[in-house]
Amino acid sequence: MTRSFEQAIAVFAPALPLAVAYSGGADSTALLLACVRKWPGQVVAVHVHHGLQAAGDDFEHHCRRVCAELQVPLMVQKVDARHAPGQSPEAAARLARYQAIDALALHGQAAIQTIAIAQHADDQVETLLLALSRGAGLPGLSAMAAQWQRAGLSYCRPLLEVSSAAIRDWLQAQGAAFIEDPSNGDERFTRNRIRARLLPALQACFPQFRATFARSSRHAAQAQALLQEVAAEDLARIGALPDIKALQGLSQARLANVLRHWLLQAHQVTPTSAQLDALMVQVAACRTRGHQVHLKVGLGFCVRRGKVLDWYNPHPLQPSPNLSCP
């Protein structure tokens, strides 16, 4: 079963002071209002102006007005969230948003301990369905984490077990004002099509789909955590610059697992399935000193340096689209 909004807030116990990521929409408005009531004087709001919509200034003005009425400090950061070639617009906006929140929380006047984000059960389902549509592995099927650490800060999503409808019902009962992002109705974006077309169908066929899908994501997350433990053990044995001969001694499954882990942990790179398959073929082929490896992976290249494998980015100042948030 999903939780009610009141139940989710009742069990939410973050380290204070708390920052709430506040867009001005229904979900973040409800979270901000509930947190301000529960911890008066211990909450600040963080608003990121993405610079992607003409209405962005109106969003900021609305947030300033609401925070003034609530007597809540508001920190605003303007960013350029335009996507690079080959990068999804959603990924670019997400990366810019988290980087801006990190900067505000770390360098703002308040000593922020926790940052709360208002993503909810419907968002979780949409994330899982997007991952399935793209043929994702366990990291994608794990969907969004309820809490994690980033840049020395604690992030949390206290509403992941609350439906969008339950949040809006609570907000309507409070008579609180919020804004609707016009881009949320644009079905050119896959997530919006899922929200508009698939979620109503799932509700009609499987009324408990939010809870059951969330359970599947938790199972995937547990399995992924185990794979990460195995990968960390394997990487410790074969070296921070992986020894090619040691890599060749692994099974195909463990080889794929440790290569993914190494690329992500050491270089913040997530290879595509095709890139990973090609890299595994090249590792297996390194049977002579003369065999060279120079394979594009992410924005850089995997190369052979004597007995070990390495990765480098020829344009180190260019931000990598592979950086991601849970």
CA distance 16 to 37: 14
pLDDT value of position 39:
97
Q: Which CATH number fits domain 5-212: 3.20.20.140, 3.60.15.10, 3.40.640.10, 3.40.50.620?
A: 3.40.50.620
Query: In degrees to the nearest 10, what's the CA dihedral of 160, 96, 149, 133?
Result: 50
CB 22 within 8 Å of CB 46: yes
Q: What is the DSSP letter of 222?
A: H
| pLDDT at position 57 | 84
- DSSP tally for the chain: helices H, then strands E: 13, 9
pLDDT of residue 121: 96
**Phi-psi bin for 307: left (phi > 0), alpha (psi -120 to 50), beta?**
alpha
Domain-by-domain residue ranges, the chain? 5-212, 240-326
- Between CA 313 and CA 302 the distance in angstroms is 9
Helix (H) or strand (E) holding 156: strand 153-156
pLDDT at residue number 319: 43
d(CA 74, CA 66): 10
**Beta strands 300-305; 308-312: pairing state:** antiparallel
Confidence (pLDDT) at 320: 40
- At residue 85, φ and ψ (nearest 5 deg) are -55, 130
In the β-sheet with 308-312, what is the strand arrangement from edge to edge? 294-297, 300-305, 308-312
- pLDDT per 10-residue tile (average), the chain, 326 residues: 92 95 96 98 89 73 96 84 54 65 67 92 96 92 91 91 96 94 86 95 96 95 97 97 97 97 94 95 94 93 96 69 46
Asked if omega into 326 is within 30° of 0 (cis), the reply is no
